[in-house]
Structure 1
Amino acid sequence: MRISRRTVLKGAAALPLAAGNPGFAALAQLAPAVPAASELPPILFVHGNGDHAALWLTTLWRMESNGVSRDRMFAINFTDPLARADDTKAEPNKSSIEDQRRELGEAVQELKRRTGASRVALVGNSRGGYSIRGLIKNGGGADVSHAVLCGVPNHGVYAWDAGLDNEFNGRGPFLRGLNEGDCEVTPGTAFLTLRSDGMDKYAQEDGRFVGKPGTPTGVTEEGPALKGATNLVLGAIDHRETAYSPRAFREIYKFIAGREPDRIAITPEAEVRLSGLVTGTPGGVPTNRPVAGASVEIFRVSADSGERLGSAIHTSQTGANGRWGPAKVDPTWHLEMVLTSAGSPTTHFYRSPFPRSSDIVHLRAARPLGPADAGAGCVVLMSRTRGFLGLPRDIVLFNGKEPSDVKPGVPGDSLSTLRLSAAETGRPVGALFNEERIVTRAWPASENRIAVAELTY
């Protein structure tokens, strides 16, 4: 049985599927008993390859809006989130399978200590699911009540004879070890997998998303499903939306709580406080290592023009721990966050209103201006971190037009770049993604400045 994209687009709810194998249904687990929101196990959220904790921002807000206490949730920030090309060979600022598993294990123990709980629930996206499965399989299952694996390439992004020590190779020793036997999950922990109906860039039969167009990957859209787990197909969502979308939130909450959430919408707070980390990209590698001596300024801006409304409402400088804030803002304000750090472009982040408080509003400077930007008077980026920019699936307009650098079909681009002439410095630039609209200002590239319309949803 399979849910068609047509059915999904008509608004039908996704159903648990047998993932292409009749044996999956027989091994699927029963939902846990129904606890009150205050009785849910503490939840630890685990980000994916090259990412950071802030991607779980809206998920945490939705959890809080359903009565889950903020102090019973935690989103890990792996020190070096990017995987090595060969897991057996060290690379600067990249992590091994064992590095990730060790850091996750430490985070589980800390969350247990902080809450007094005997077990926690783990929710992971993409590579984050590898560390979850590895931890549970290697003796950590007694600490984990639930494991929710969102868009995790459980059978590899590809399955090739070459590059067997890459952790994303389904034929390599790492994934073969996790998937050996008739049941691919560890008894004693309830497993749920969430996947896309063919729109996940890392669950494709063709290798174009891993640099080999026309070469069969050896995996299919059913790759994230596991024998022995409850396996759900969520519809025409992309790789990141398997974790960070409202649709994914419903299933994450329902699996852990044993009942439907009371609401999907985020309930605003009267007073909002924001803080986070400033992290760096040494050698061009994204890390979650703190950056000291960076300055963060926050301005309230016009929703229609991006123009500043008065002086800075917050100014801070990071210490050795890389933290900025806290800043007190109104939940209706559109914001400009200006990050200045040595060796990086001054980055002007334009953000939609923050309806709730958060201490994981993490900031990384935009990529350096490069040869492709030569001659541009201004460079403006449109960035969607919790999903991809899908054409024609989504309404994506940048400066009033569909961006030409976003490829249609399976969503695979999360960033679009707009280059303007020097004569256009200071003018407003609109970024529209479905119902979210952000207006930036164009800053001069000659001053090593970049503007970013960073989408929240």
Structure 2
Amino acid sequence: MLALISGAALAVTGLAVPAAAAAPEQSKPSRASVRPVVFIHGSAGSAMQFRTQAKRLAGNGYPIDLVEAHEYDSPNIATIIAAVYADLDARIDRLLAAAGTEQVDLLAHSLGTFVTQGYLNSSPARAARVANYVNLDGRPAAALPGGVRTLAIWGEGDPARAVAGATNVYFPDQSHTQTVSSTESFQEIFRFLQGREPRTTKIVPQAHAQVSGRAVLFPSNAGVGEAAVELYPVSPLTGRRLTNRPVRVQTVKPDGSFGPVPVLPFARYEFALVRTGQATHHFYFEPFVRSDSFVRLVTSRPGEGIGALVDTSDRHTALTFQRQKEWWGAEGDELWVNGTNILNGANAPRAKRVIGVFAFDDGSDGVTDLTAPLPEFFAVTFMTGMDVFIPAAQQRPGTVQILARQRGGGFSAMPVPNWKSSEHRVSIEINDH
């Protein structure tokens, strides 16, 4: 049940949309002129890899409700593949009915290309309902999957990879997940799907935005049950809450879904995932300048998964960072925590393809050691971990100052409260653009 705590709460915080920030969008094509788009993620992935592209599509006329992600339990794909196909059949049925079209467009990344190629090759009837397929840095093929018109985008790696008969495009300076989220990939994808150039590759601001998504367990993408999501506006200077009570509270549905909840563009928010008897999990995102239905609050149960390896105490804060563009620690990417750049060539080398970073006081000894990554985290695909002492709040709340600099330019300032890791978990999503 969605409860509006206070309609005036945002007004008293001083949060407002800058007058020139949310200009009207350019004229949109009719709803019937676009096909539904479904993104199928790769290993340990989710809809998050496609967040940026979904918003770029929306800024170019795609209705937000016709762009979806098909999520599944990637570690167990070999035993659940038939169910994944059946669920995809049902999703396509629903989208075709909603859009009034006869076909959809499918996009897949990494392991998702194995899933999707198998799906298209499994049945002529299935392939006939797909107009276009985009194969993102994944599985080569000796023929067009299911005979469907195909675009294959490849990042760094073997330049001989290809899908025979497809339009093959190569970005040798882009890493594995970057090929999903980059501006260059979007231009190729849009041109392929629509037969014309996009009007814009920017995230076009909206005067009124809504956010929805799912709270899910990593890496299965199973919905988090018996939980609530609390929404708080936070200070852009300190990351601390601007209201004592949440401005929205919503019970998570059995599949993990929540929302939509209204947000102010250019304001910052905290999503607090609250479960009885468990540490509160705080999620921080950069401002939602337009509606976003691909938000994922990725968590785990107590004592399970990679989160169980994080040392906790009353004295230190533990942080998890995610960005849908790999961190290259020795090649231009920087992640500053309280004045220290915690990335380097040892803990985030280019070859590791890091998109998830765990930073906490290993051993709870009050000492930072960045000479080598934490091996149990570094052993996990796309992950790394580092021993960083981040003092937690004691007598009064404080702030962890965070600054991320992207290779090629651009930075993000993301201060968050210094929550005690004994009682709180903190995840921070850095934009990939």
CA spacing shift, 1:321–1:132, aligned 2, 3 Å: closer
CA spacing shift, 1:394–1:102, aligned 2, 3 Å: farther
Q: Given residue 87 of structure 2, which amino acid in structure 1 is its aligned partner?
A: E
Q: Which residue of 2 aligns with 1:161?
A: none
RMSD: 2.6
Q: Which residue of 1 aligns with 2:138?
A: 152
Q: Which residue of 1 aligns with 2:153?
A: 194
- The counterpart of 1:117, out of the listed 101, 120, 134, is 101
| Within-5 A mapping of 1:197-212 | 197-198=156-157
Q: Contact 2:64/2:293 (CA < 8 Å) preserved in 1?
A: no
Q: Contact 1:378/1:450 (CA < 8 Å) preserved in 2?
A: no
Q: Which residue of 2 aligns with 1:97?
A: 81
Q: Distance between the aligned counterparts of 1:114 and 1:265, measured in 2?
A: 27
CA spacing shift, 1:371–1:42, aligned 2, 3 Å: closer
Post-superposition CA distance 1:264-317 (Å, at most 9, x none): 001111111112222235xxxx22222232121121112222122223222222
Q: Distance between the aligned counterparts of 2:139 and 2:68, measured in 1?
A: 23
| Within-5 A mapping of 1:232-311 | 232-281=169-218, 286-311=219-244
Q: Which residue of 2 aligns with 1:438?
A: 414
Specify the SS of the correspondent of 1:387: strand
Q: Which residue of 2 aligns with 1:315?
A: 249
CA spacing shift, 1:335–1:394, aligned 2, 3 Å: farther
CA spacing shift, 1:382–1:431, aligned 2, 3 Å: farther
Q: Contact 1:439/1:453 (CA < 8 Å) preserved in 2?
A: no
Higher strand share: 2
Q: Shift in Å at residue 342 of structure 1?
A: 4.7
Q: Distance between the aligned counterparts of 1:429 and 1:221, measured in 2?
A: 41
Q: Which residue of 1 aligns with 2:52?
A: 58
- The counterpart of 1:450, out of the listed 417, 425, 430, is 425
TM-score (norm 2): 0.76
- The counterpart of 2:74, out of the listed 74, 81, 100, is 81
| Within-5 A mapping of 1:8-19 | none
Percent identity over paired residues:
25
Q: Which has the larger displacement, 293-302 or 311-320?
A: 311-320
CA spacing shift, 1:58–1:377, aligned 2, 3 Å: same
- Mark the runs of 5 or more structure 2 residues left unpaired by the alignment: 1-28, 367-389
Q: Which residue of 2 aligns with 1:10?
A: none
| Within-5 A mapping of 1:110-189 | 110-139=94-123, 140-154=126-140, 179=141, 183-186=142-145, 188-189=147-148
CA spacing shift, 1:419–1:228, aligned 2, 3 Å: same
Q: Distance between the aligned counterparts of 1:444 and 1:268, measured in 2?
A: 35
Q: Contact 1:302/1:334 (CA < 8 Å) preserved in 2?
A: yes
Q: Distance between the aligned counterparts of 2:67 and 2:309, measured in 1?
A: 43
Specify the SS of the correspondent of 1:388: strand
Q: Distance between the aligned counterparts of 2:352 and 2:285, measured in 1?
A: 23
Q: Given residue 250 of structure 1, which amino acid in structure 2 is its aligned partner?
A: Q
Query: What is the count of residue pairs matched by the alignment?
Result: 359
CA spacing shift, 1:324–1:229, aligned 2, 3 Å: same
Q: Given residue 294 of structure 1, which amino acid in structure 2 is its aligned partner?
A: A
Q: Contact 1:317/1:324 (CA < 8 Å) preserved in 2?
A: yes
Q: Contact 2:137/2:152 (CA < 8 Å) preserved in 1?
A: yes
Q: Shift in Å at residue 62 of structure 1?
A: 0.3
TM-score (norm 1): 0.72
Q: Given residue 53 of structure 1, which amino acid in structure 2 is its aligned partner?
A: A
Q: Contact 2:314/2:392 (CA < 8 Å) preserved in 1?
A: no
CA spacing shift, 1:417–1:132, aligned 2, 3 Å: closer
Q: Which residue of 2 aligns with 1:397?
A: 335
Q: Shift in Å at residue 64 of structure 1?
A: 1.0
Q: Distance between the aligned counterparts of 2:160 and 2:329, measured in 1?
A: 23
Q: Distance between the aligned counterparts of 2:320 and 2:342, measured in 1?
A: 10
